Amino acid sequence: MGAVSGQIIAACNSEPIVSADVDIIPAAGQALTTETVSGGNYNFASLSQQAWTIKPSIHGLQNAAIDAVDAQMALDAAVGKVMLNDEGRLAADVTGNGKVTSTDASLILQFSMGMITSFPVTAACDSDWVFIPNAADMSGQEIMNPAINGGTCTPGTIVLDPLTGQVDNRNFRAILFGDVNGSWPAGGATE
């Protein structure tokens, strides 16, 4: 039997994220789901020795972090006034088309004003957040970074093939779609 544990933290400030869903999907059989607890930690025990894919998701948990400043940053990036890093581009691309445009800025502003409640990319990714695997290399592991383009989303995952024994520190860095300036957890704690 095997076991897997890890942690999910916010990429913007390394704060642990509590209440994130973590799926572990077997090559054969039913997926298992758990939720991160205090410290952003998750754990799966008593897993069979086969290939498993670890895939987090979060619905909600924005904590009022998306505001007009994020929309302005997205607009500045769209017109070439500022250059966003990779994480900033992921946060700003709320259309899910693979680039930051004025449409992204408009949608972020609409979200911050309560005119819309989700982004096109959240439907494509089935999550309000995107996840970047942050696990040390090991034999039998494949890291899949997120890829968002043309309205499709390939989530960030960690594949263990096969899982043998206890595997710890299968961690992820999480980015909130729309939080271009990385202000999460604005207005509240993570728990």
Q: Does the reported pTM lie above 0.85?
A: yes
Judged against a pLDDT cut of 90, whether residue 1 lies above it is answered with no
CATH number at residue 12: 2.60.40.10
In the structure encoding, which two tokens stand for residue 167, read together?
């595997």
DSSP code, position 64: T
- Structure confidence at residue 133 as a pLDDT band (50, 70, 90): very high
The answer as to whether 104 is a domain residue is no
**pLDDT one-digit tens code per residue, 79-93:** 999 999 999 999 999
Of 92, 16, 65, 87, which Cα lies nearest the Cα of 184? Answer: 65
- Structure confidence at residue 63 as a pLDDT band (50, 70, 90): confident
The answer as to whether 89 is a domain residue is no
The answer as to whether 135 is a domain residue is yes
- CA 154 from chain centre, in angstroms, equals 11
Element (H, E) at 59: none
Of 61, 52, 44, 48, which Cα lies nearest the Cα of 5? Answer: 44
Give the per-residue pLDDT at 186.
Answer: 59
Of 177, 56, 181, which Cα lies nearest the Cα of 118? Answer: 177
CB 135 within 8 A of CB 169: yes
Q: List the domain range (segments joined by +) for residue 47.
A: 2-61+128-175
Judged against a pLDDT cut of 60, whether residue 11 lies above it is answered with yes
Give the per-residue pLDDT at 152.
Answer: 94
Mean pLDDT across the stretch 95-115? 97
Element (H, E) at 10: strand 2-10
Classify the C-alpha dihedral 58-47-14-156 as positive or negative.
negative
**pLDDT one-digit tens code per residue, 158-190:** 999 999 899 999 999 999 999 999 999 855 444
The answer as to whether 36 is a domain residue is yes
Mean pLDDT across the stretch 53-67? 95
The answer as to whether 117 is a domain residue is no
